[in-house]
Amino acid sequence: MFVIRRSVRFSETDMAGVMHFSNYMRWMEDAEHAFWRALGLGVHMPDEAGAISWPRAAASCEYRAPARFEEEIELRVAVERIGGKSLVLVIDFHRDAQHIARGRMTTVCCRLSAEGFTSIEIPAPIRSALEQFAAQASPGGPA
């Protein structure tokens, strides 16, 4: 499990007085990028053949309790599945002892070129870093 902490900004709230549901997606992406950096990899990974990037194929979030202005929230990143070309991350949102939301992102390993994105097999060094993280971080499963 990899963890970051964030406080809700005023500009992230809406007129219902809580963090707008779309902003959980931005936070999930921030956690994903911090996770890649913690693995010693950037989210844009230049290699000998150009660059690798991870556009999302799907993103979802279950909202259990709202988050409010200035509250500190902990985001816990777990690897749920390492596929041939794709990666599923689960990002849990906690406020103190309360589990307030669960996000999930399916990202696809792509080579980035002038023509756009082409999906590729996850390169061995990246797969190895992900597997090592998954083995250490979640011996009992993704949650």
Binding residues for a copy of itself, rule: CB under 8 A, are: 9-11, 13-18, 20-23, 25-26, 29-30, 33, 42-43, 53, 55-63, 66, 69-70
User: Of 10 and 139, which CB lies nearer to a copy of itself in the complex structure?
Assistant: 10
DSSP-derived 3-state class of residue 5? strand
Structure tokens at 85: 């070309």
User: Of 69 and 123, which CB lies nearer to a copy of itself in the complex structure?
Assistant: 69
Write down the least CB distance from residue 69 to a copy of itself, Å.
6
Q: Which residues lie below 8 Å from residue 69, measured CB to CB, with a gap of 6+?
A: 8, 9, 10, 13, 17
Angle value at C-alpha 61, between 25 and 1, nearest 5 degrees = 80
Write down the least CB distance from residue 126 to a copy of itself, Å.
18
User: Of 112 and 134, which CB lies nearer to a copy of itself in the complex structure?
Assistant: 112
Write down the least CB distance from residue 57 to a copy of itself, Å.
6
| Torsion angle of C-alpha atoms 39, 124, 119, 142, degrees rounded to 10 | -50
Write down the least CB distance from residue 139 to a copy of itself, Å.
28
Determine the straight-line distance between the first and last CA of the chain, rounded to whole angstroms: 9
